[in-house]
Amino acid sequence: MSTITRRIFPAIAIAGTMMLVASGCVAGENATASDTSKDDAAATGEWSSDTLSIDFATYNPLSLVIRDQGILEEILGDDVDVEWVQSAGSNKANELLRSGSIDVGSTAGSAALLARANGSPIQVIDIFSQPEWSAIVVGPDSDITSVEDLAGKSVAATKGTDPYFFLLQSLEEAGLSVDDVEVQNLQHADGRAALDGGSVDAWAGLDPIMAAAEVESGDRLIYRNVDFNTYGFLNATEDFIENHADLAQAVVDAYEQAREWALENPDETAALLAEVAGIDIEVAKTVITERSNLDVSGIPGDDQVAVLEKIAPVLVDSGDVQGGKDSVDKALDSIVNATFAEKAVGGE
């Protein structure tokens, strides 16, 4: 895990200002959403904290844009130090949130639901994508051609993440259960390495690592289903939401600015992903243009809950939730906090 503290430089400040104008996010008469955050801070004399810890991840392209362009630093000015911490997967982001190592973290919706159902006091405050980032992957010479062929085989997957829940749903659809396979609980990059090294028969993959595996290793996606992928959730702890609402708003404002820029500059976004993830530019373009739907409302709500309701029974049956169905139902009822995104998107 790498930790980077970034401070704003004049050139970035200029770029951030230009993006504020380009975003068209109106918060009142001739004001941007980030202006509102600044005004709120000005009204109280200062921001609620002098530090903000937030994650970035290769599965969250908007986080890369915000970090690279210093958007948050521009909004917050010199009074708040922004600490960037890399998340290697949704499970790691949840660990960082639970431990208090970060204030805001990015996960798949399924992982956020699992964490809240197991007692982690997090809520989704923004949606960063509607991706197709998971699939079942095998090596180029594998005899496995369908999910049914996984019976009795070993499969690498990162528990507590979308690829893991993608695997569970895929097995269920094929008339199998997790007991019919041997799950090797490996972090995403290690799962690819295990597949390429021959120590597992298949891998529940995650982009951009999965896309790179296709090009670099000739690995094959034997099963895809966009409906088994959950949304990209930006989560914060309830303590942060309650006690640092001004900073939470600034983060969501930054995400909405980054979304506008990324949609207008897909090639530049792909180049940034390629740089951070260490992958070929063509692979990055595939991830951004074909498997990352960034053109989705940032406001969490019914659409996301509907997806989570579909996955809830799978999550309960997995045995990974303390308290079972009751805990999952309570988490579903309380996981969404749309206040900040509604303000950032609608200028309310």
Bridge partners, 205 (sequence order): 135
Q: Are 250 and 16 in contact, with CB atoms under 8 Å apart? A: no
**pLDDT tens, position by position, 81-105:** 999 999 999 999 999 999 999 999 9
**pLDDT tens, position by position, 49-80:** 999 999 999 999 999 999 999 999 999 999 99
Q: How confident is the model at residue 252 (pLDDT cuts 50, 70, 90)?
A: very high
Q: How confident is the model at residue 29 (pLDDT cuts 50, 70, 90)?
A: very low
**pLDDT tens, position by position, 123-139:** 999 999 999 999 999 99
The predicted pLDDT at position 41 comes to 59
**Cα 288 to Cα 281: distance, rounded to the nearest angstrom:** 10
The predicted pLDDT at position 6 comes to 36
Say what angle helices 90-99 and 109-117 make with each other, to 10 degrees: 40
**Cα 39 to Cα 43: distance, rounded to the nearest angstrom:** 6
Q: What is the DSSP string of 297-324?
A: -S--SHHHHHHHHHHHHHHHHTT-STTH
Asked if pLDDT for residue 37 goes beyond 70, the answer is no
- pTM here is 0.82
Under DSSP, the state recorded for 45 is: T
Q: What is the mean pLDDT of residues 157-175?
A: 94
